[in-house]
Amino acid sequence: MSVAETFPRRVSRRLALLAPAAGLAAVALAGSAAAAGGDKAAEAAKVHYRRQVVGEVDVFYREAGPKDAPVILLLHGFPTSGHMFRDLIPHLAGRYRVIAPDLPGFGQTKAPPRGQFDYTFDNLAKVVDGFTQALGLSRYAIYMFDYGAPTGFRLAAAHPERVTAIITQNGNAYEEGLSSVWAPLKAYWADPSPARRAAVRALLTPEMTRRHYLDGADAGLVSPDSYELDIAYLARPGQDEIQLDLFYDYRTNVASYPAWQAYFRRHRPPILAAWGDKDIIFLPPGAKAFERDQPEAEVHLLDTGHFALETHSAEIGALIVDFLGRKVKA
């Protein structure tokens, strides 16, 4: 047999031998690409712990996600901190730059003592406003919970051009959302006497903090570390008086409800309400009321309590990603 006759066979055999190797190489390249994508996702999900000085306040905050992604500002409530977002952040950080500051008087943020700093909701909003400007955040969605709501609504009403959307998780703006738990606070607002002030101290007890977390929730899904951390924060020297000041100032939030409702009607911000329907503090009618002033608001009642993220972080994360994907242009 001539060389000419055997050559095609040799080439065919070599190609046959190389084919599996080429397939393996393709698989390897695909695996490398997937690994690179996985590495990128893992990097985006990393939470960085940072500080930003705003005037006389040293704001501690958590940040995750790509620097060039749309921003979600996460505002916590009483008596917690940005720690409450630990399970939600991984659900959002792949697509969004997520930033969660601790408010003055909470968590790891360092603010002057009472007497040198007025612990009011106006001042909480001013600090958060300065914080967003210091970080160069010109547009952002706001996730607001509990005290984060009156803080966030102040920002939104003052600067509607900055706010791309509102996600309210048990963050109230309507009187029908206030439960009977507020009765002693309303009495305190009407009569800020030492006796009334002493009466509302019951809301600062460890037992009440546990109730915030556990009432209406599946206790088996709630990490005890969460409420024990908040109990420890509340036990810091001087913290009780700071919180009593904020309890009294909460009356200004209720007085601002009509102005915030007018903001909803005038500017029609996209609103997503994801609400624990067994909340002992803010009732479901407060969630449904958003539809009255913003008819396109989307309301989801979840089978849980006040701290809905403790039991439903995945569900709320999915709602947010879907909602912002439909409602907010990149």
Residues with a catalytic annotation lie at: 306
d(CA 298, CA 277): 15
Of 53, 103, 44, 46, whose CA–CA distance to 73 is shortest? 103
Cα angle 171, 255, 263; round to 5: 65
What amino acid is encoded at 153 in this protein?
F
Which residues are CB-neighbours of 324 under 8 A, at least 6 positions away?
70, 72, 96, 141, 164, 165
CA 193 to each of CA 33, 44, 116, 187, 258: distance values in angstroms, whole numbers, following the listed order: 66, 50, 22, 10, 27
Q: Tokens representing 127?
A: 């600090």
| Longest pairwise C-alpha distance within the chain | 113
Residues paired with residue 51 on neighbouring β-strands, in sequence order: 60
Q: Tokens representing 173?
A: 């703006």
Residue 227 CB burial class (10 angstroms; 0-12, 13-18, ≥19): buried
CA 191 to each of CA 43, 79, 249: distance values in angstroms, whole numbers, following the listed order: 52, 24, 13
Residue with tokens 């009780």, as numbered in its chain: 240
